[in-house]
Amino acid sequence: MTDVFGDLVGQDEAVAMLRRAAASAAALLRAPVTAPAGGHDDLDALAEEYDGDPAPAPADPGAGMTHAWIFTGPPGSGRSVAARAFAAALECVHGTGCGTCPGCHTTLTGTHADVRLVVPEGLSIGVNEMRVLVLRAASAPSGGRWQIVIIEDADRLTEAAGNALLKAIEEPPPRTVFLLCAPSTHPDDISVTIRSRCRVVPLRQPPPAAVAEVLVRRDGIAPDVAEWAAAAAQGHVGRARRLARDPEARQRRDAVLAVPRRLTGVGAAFDAASALIEAAEAEAAASVAEIDEAERRALQTALGAGGTGRGAAGAMRGAAGQLKDLEKRQKSRATRAQRDALDRALVDLAGFYRDALTMAWRAPVAPVHTDTASLAGAGAQKWDAEGSLRRLEAVLECRAAIEANVKPRIAVEAMMLALWRG
């Protein structure tokens, strides 16, 4: 029997915290509201009344419910899975996240009327999108429980969007809950003021054994494949599942892991850089092609039908403007997809040099890439620990440079030269 938290791999502490909060939230909804007319049926007031009731009050004051949360953890640790599971538990008619009631089911399938999910497609979440969202989130929950806004990759909020969100979090509408996901609570990821208003749910990188276990149990993947994929994905649950199931993902990984062997000279280094960039571009183009085309067709249909439903202002902006907007959004999404694909490749490559380093040190740890372990062993002999470490650092510097907006091709070429020279 698994409830909504069943997919959170290796996160026992976070799950315990969220279960307590969901129970508190359910108790808040059950608590009789004795506020005077026009009074304060918002969350804080309910919480005060609730805390004043000695019978069902939670023993741990931190166990209670609050209206703003940040889920942090490395990519693949399950930030958005945790946020969705918690949202389901809040909307669950039993207040537990049973996983089977209509509240749980519609939240998990993304059709619950009171749960809004923001998944940034471009490089950042803009202020207009955020204003619309905050406005809609302020309405009363149609299902009588909570209005929930989940923001994936809250680190991609623009400053203006962050300010719009902050205003909502500072003066929370009654019964509205914000669930933010971000890599960390570092000020680069989330503003200090937003952070100070939220409760943090830290997630850790799940151990490979826990990832393998869930691949076998939930996805029916053979144990040996699951173990290999869990190690190769370095704690990233979604990546592990893709590697186990998608032959193309495996081929792309093989091509990346062939890079160290191919670096035989300057020309080869530039060739390897081109191949890596082009593979990332092709992967990204394939991943967005379908949705791009669907959006274009939907817009053309709307324009052909006279733009009904877009309102007078929309009609006045004209077809050209709308098409331009769409192209801009799609370009931003394509750039993001390319960077994500390239980053996955760099993480694989970093894993290889990390293996060489641990072997040079004779550290008693399992290799990330079991299938290239002998190649990494040969590298360890040739480069020694120091040379392996320099190469690992070159890969990590390349990731950092791309994150800091260095042109990917330039960063990757510099990395390949460093990997060849050592």
* CB closer to Zn ion, 65 vs 380: 65
* CB closer to Zn ion, 24 vs 322: 24
Shortest distance in whole angstroms from residue 89 CB to Zn ion = 7
Rule CB under 5 A: is residue 101 a binding residue for Zn ion? yes
Q: Mark the segment that binds Zn ion (CB under 5 A) among 48-56, 66-74, 86-94, 131-139.
A: 86-94
Shortest distance in whole angstroms from residue 189 CB to Zn ion = 32
Q: Within 104-143, which residues bind Zn ion (CB under 5 A)?
A: 104
Answer whether 402's CB lies under 8 Å from 408's CB: yes
Q: Centre a 10 Å sphere on the Cβ of residue 264 and count the other Cβ atoms it contains.
A: 11
Contacts 24+ apart (CB under 8 A), 186-194: 188/155, 189/72, 189/154, 189/155, 190/70, 190/154, 190/155, 191/162, 191/166, 193/166, 194/68, 194/70, 194/154, 194/162, 194/165, 194/166, 194/169
Please pick, from the candidates 31, 45, 63, 98, the single residue that binds Zn ion as defined by CB under 5 A.
98
Say how far residue 52 (Cα) sits from the centre of its chain: 38
To 5 degrees, how large is the angle CA 282–CA 285–CA 291? 155
Q: Mark the segment that binds Zn ion (CB under 5 A) among 87-95, 129-137, 191-199, 400-408.
A: 87-95
Rule CB under 5 A: is residue 92 a binding residue for Zn ion? yes
* CB closer to Zn ion, 47 vs 92: 92
Shortest distance in whole angstroms from residue 109 CB to Zn ion = 13
* CB closer to Zn ion, 146 vs 353: 146
For 133, counting Cβ atoms within 10 Å of its Cβ (0-12 exposed, 13-18 middle, 19+ buried), the class is buried
Q: Mark the segment that binds Zn ion (CB under 5 A) among 91-99, 217-225, 277-285, 372-380.
A: 91-99
Contacts of 235 (CB under 8 A, 6+ apart): 74, 76, 77, 205, 206, 207, 208, 211
Rule CB under 5 A: is residue 29 a binding residue for Zn ion? no
Shortest distance in whole angstroms from residue 148 CB to Zn ion = 14
* CB closer to Zn ion, 98 vs 373: 98
Which chain residues interact with Zn ion by CB under 5 A?
92, 98, 101, 104
